Amino acid sequence: MQALVIVAHGSHLNPDSSAPTYDHADTIRDVGAFDEVKTGFWKEEPSLREVLRTVESDEVFVVPMFISEGYFTEQVIPRELRLDGWDVSEWDSDGLSASHATLTAADTNQRVHYCGPVGTHESMTDVLVRRAESVTGDPEVGAGFGLAVVGHGTERNENSAKAIEYHAERIREMDRFDEVQALYMDEEPEVDDVTEYFESDDVVVVPLFIADGFHTQEDIPEDMGLTDDYRTGYDVPAEVDGHRIWYAGAVGTESLMADVVLERAAEAGADVGDAVETVRERTRGSPAAGD
Amino acid sequence: MRAGQLDALVEAVAADGGVEFDGLNANHRDDGYGFRTPHTERTGLSEAEFREVAESNPWFVSNWFYWTREVGLGDRETGEADSGRRDGASARRAFLRWAERADDHGVPERYEALADGVSREWGQLCVTATVADHGERRYHLRHVADADADLSSLDVYTDPLEARGIATYDERGRYRPLKTAPTLRDGWAFADLDGRALVEAVDVVYPATVPNWYREREGRLDVSHWNETAERQTGIYDVVDELDEEAVEWIAESCCVDSQCLKRRMWDADEETELDADRGDGVFPCREPCSLVVAAARKWTTLEREESRTYEFELTPSEKEQVEEIIDAVADGRTDEIREADVYEGANRYRARFLRAKRFDDEGNLSGTPTDE
């Protein structure tokens, strides 16, 4: 028996933080690739300390719903899951390349295939593009459009910006959008000045965040000038300085994210059959999770 | 009992030489088959005679079949006994047996009780086990407050994962960050679940409570006490190990009692130092301070760094008592119960507004006394 466990941050204050994790778990459960699909959280229940106890399988694939490698993926999750002998060198990563490491959970004796975070997986690039398609309602969106990938950015962890740069560069290489730019909340170039970085009239803005919350629903729309007060809402697209801003909200709520989770597990050795194609098929055109 | 169940029993007796389960003893020796229950004892039977006796004791056969073949652990049973730790399936089975009081009653009494339904409480959940055709168990789940409600008055669900929607918000629509808070809303039911789906639904409402309860029953619940948990914290929670034992006592007293959480607190300051606070009467144990407690403790750690100082306030005796009543009402979550016009209650909104109008200055300082002088 093999199980998938998706681990995420969660929140004590609102349920939106864990909603995408539940949605993607449901999508994967429906395609039947795993005997069990479970979720565990840092701030919700079951806690990371106890989630493996809720799993009957011996073989467990753990996929973190986090954007970048860093404090949570390298310290908190392995510690709380009690992954025996974990050391970050197991991932042999440059900050973007963590794939998986196989360890034993001291608590349950299960074999745990601990995967890199979803945010740094190459398939995440496709999800960002799909997000642009779903927010514009145009499966061919690209020509005449600019695309901004927005990250939190922080001076405390260089990996945080790496993931944003990485996907922005990959989208640029697709040669699909007229312009592609990586922008940040807390460092230069800032999302506040989004219109200064684009010549295109139409700009899709996709935050590389797991869940919609304070930053994606309040800070970023206000900072970009989509609205003076997030509570009054904003249009999509909204007119700012002569540009049409198509604000997409957190990429993590896009239903195609389930595919990234599956690919992480498959690369760690999970037998997922044709689930990857099925999920790609099923999530196409379906409303974004959490909408 | 179905024919297939009897075939399976004959096969198991032939393969293993004997089956002993819940009062049923079926065996195959040199002198033939034996079939024994608390009320029947037959030996030296031919296979045909064995089948005939078994058919006249169908409950024992279907009971054996249900617990070993349907709920059974398959090939994992031996492996689990060896490791003693990978016990997810054993926990599920133990919970289902608890649900029908299998350890307390023999098969005939149980089948009679299951015909009407055997109900047990798991936190605010009422679990009812029934027996369907051929010994198959079916389970029913609802809020204890709805134990006697007519099913037609409840919202009926079938998919265990739908319990997520029920457990996310309290009856006033507020988010429930603690799943084991005694604020589970009522008005719903899962009317017809199999054993696996029942345990799944319970796990959605009260995550990980079944495996922890099982480990406790097996005498190997691992408890992480406060000191150990606090020392494990890193990042912004690194500071919580500064709290002294008295403050830890206050945490347990304020957060970890039945009025706030239905888990039974098993952790203390450390293995040697018991806390005085009530542990609670919950059926499932709490094996370490939860993330909510750790997050709250971080705030208290910073607050506890402050030294107390002396302020001077002007209050009438009744106003002092009123301040105490307000703190009590907020701490116990009773402010909503205080009637709009009940000015006899200290925590009544108009009483509180009067006190504020009279005793606060324009900056919101009590008795006009600034916080930082």
Output the CA–CA distances (angstroms, integers) from residue A124 to A210, B58, B160, B316, in the order listed. 11, 57, 31, 65
- Whether the per-residue pLDDT at B84 is higher than 70: the answer is no
0.90 surpassed by complex ipTM = yes
pLDDT of residue B74: 46
- Of B287, B299, B298, nearest to B238 by C-alpha is B298
* Residue A154 banded pLDDT, cuts 50, 70, 90: confident
- Pairing outcome for strands A243-247 and A202-207: parallel
Chain A CB contacts of B224 below 8 Å: 49
Which residue in B86, B222, B235 is closest to A109 by CB distance? B86
The tokens describing A219, both together, are 């800070």
pLDDT at B78 over 70: no
Average pLDDT over residues B145-166: 97
Structure tokens at B223: 């408890």
pLDDT in tens, B121-142: 999 999 999 999 899 999 999 9
Query: Which whole number is the average pLDDT over B44-52?
Result: 96
* A155-169, B59-73, B164-178: range with highest mean pLDDT: B164-178
Mean pLDDT of B147-171: 97
Q: Count of A–B CB contacts within 8 Å?
A: 73
pLDDT at B28: 94
For B360, phi then psi, to 5°, come to -100, 145
Residue A56 is nearest to which of B89, B180, B290, comparing CB atoms?
B89
Q: How many CB atoms lie within 10 A of CB B102?
A: 19
**pLDDT for the residue A190:** 95
B contacts of A47 (beta carbons < 8 Å)? 208, 290-291
| A228-270 per-position pLDDT tens digit | 999 999 999 999 999 999 999 999 999 999 999 999 999 999 9
Q: Quote the minimal CA–CA distance from B54 to chain A in Å.
A: 34
Looking at residue B86, its pLDDT comes to 59
- How many angstroms separate the CA of residue B123 from the nearest CA in chain A? 16
CB contact under 8 A, A12 and B292: yes
- The predicted pLDDT at position B16 comes to 81
The whole-chain average pLDDT of chain A stands at 94
Query: Looking at residues B84-99, what average pLDDT do you find?
Result: 85
pLDDT in tens, B278-327: 999 999 999 999 999 999 999 999 999 999 999 999 999 999 999 999 99
**pTM > 0.90:** yes
Q: CB of A26 within 8 Å of any CB in chain B?
A: yes
Calculate mean pLDDT across residues A18-39: 97
Is A11 in contact with B88 (Cβ distance < 8 A)?
Answer: no
- pLDDT band at B1; cut points 50, 70, 90: confident
Give the H/E segment covering residue B76.
helix B76-83
Is residue A30 less than 8 Å (CB to CB) from chain B? no
SS3 B204: helix
Q: What is the pLDDT of residue A183?
A: 96
pLDDT of residue B87: 77
Task: For chain B, say whether A223 makes contact (Cβ under 8 Å).
Answer: no
Instruction: With CB atoms and an 8 Å threshold, state whether B85 touches A56.
Output: no
CB atoms within 10 A of CB B336: 7
Residue B373 has pLDDT above 60, yes or no: no
Which among B98, B91, B100, B201 is positioned nearest to B143, based on CA atoms? Answer: B201
Residue B275 has pLDDT above 90, yes or no: yes
pLDDT band per the 50, 70, 90 thresholds, residue A286: low
Q: Cβ of A108 under 8 Å from any chain B Cβ?
A: yes
Q: Which residue has the higher pLDDT, A177 or B368?
A: A177
Whole-angstrom Cα distance, residue B260 to residue B38?
46
Please tell me the distance in Å from B240's CA to the nearest CA on chain A.
16
CA distance A221 to chain B (A): 24
For the cut 70, the answer to whether the pLDDT of residue A97 exceeds it is: yes
Cross-chain Cβ contact B211/A54 below 8 Å = yes
Residue among A53, A71, A108 minimizing CB distance to B235:
A71
Buried b (16+ CB within 10 A) or exposed e, B163-175: bbebbbeeeeeee
A198 pLDDT more than 60: yes
Residues of A in contact with B175 (CB under 8 A): 13-15
List C-alpha distances in Å: A230 to A217, A247, A261, B159: 7, 13, 31, 36
pLDDT(A288) > 60: no
Question: Average pLDDT for residues A169-190, to the nearest whole number?
Answer: 95
How many whole angstroms separate alpha carbon B113 and alpha carbon B72? Answer: 22
Whether A56 and B92 lie within 8 Å, measured CB to CB? yes
Give the Cα separation of B293 and B229 in Å (integer). 11
Residues A109, B85: C-beta atoms closer than 8 Å:
yes
Helix, strand, or coil (residue B314):
coil
Binned at pLDDT 50, 70 and 90, residue A209 comes out as very high
- Provide DSSP, A119-162: GGSTHHHHHHHHHHHHHHT-TTTTTTEEEEEEE---TT-HHHHH
Q: How confident is the model at residue B80 (pLDDT cuts 50, 70, 90)?
A: very low
Q: Quick check: helix, strand or coil at residue B114?
A: helix
CB contacts, 8 Å: B168 with chain A:
15
Q: Is B141 exposed, middle or buried, given 0-12, 13-18 or 19+ CB atoms closer than 10 A?
A: buried
- pLDDT for the residue A246: 97
User: Do the strands B32-37 and B40-45 form a parallel or antiparallel pair, or are they unpaired?
Assistant: antiparallel
Which residue of B78, B80, B86 to mutate against A (max A Cβ within 10 Å)? B86
- The confidence score (pLDDT) of residue B17 equals 82
CB B212 within 8 A of CB A50: yes
DSSP reduced 3-state for A43 = coil
Residue A255 identity (one-letter amino acid): S
Say whether pLDDT at B79 is over 80: no
For A151-202, give the DSSP string. Answer: E---TT-HHHHHHHHHHHHHHHHHT-SSEEEEEESSSSSBGGGGGGG--SSE
Shortest alpha-carbon distance between residue A2 and chain B (Å): 13
Shortest distance between the Cα of A113 and any Cα of chain B, in A, equals 16
Min distance A112 CA to chain B CA atoms (Å): 13
B308 secondary structure, DSSP code? P
How far is B195 from B217, CA to CA, in rounded Å?
20
What confidence tens digit (pLDDT) does each residue in A75-90 have?
999 999 999 999 999 9
Amino acid, res. A256: L
pLDDT score recorded for residue B76: 42
Q: Answer with the residue of higher pLDDT: B276 or B83.
A: B276
pLDDT at B88: 82
Q: What element of type H or E holds B75?
A: none
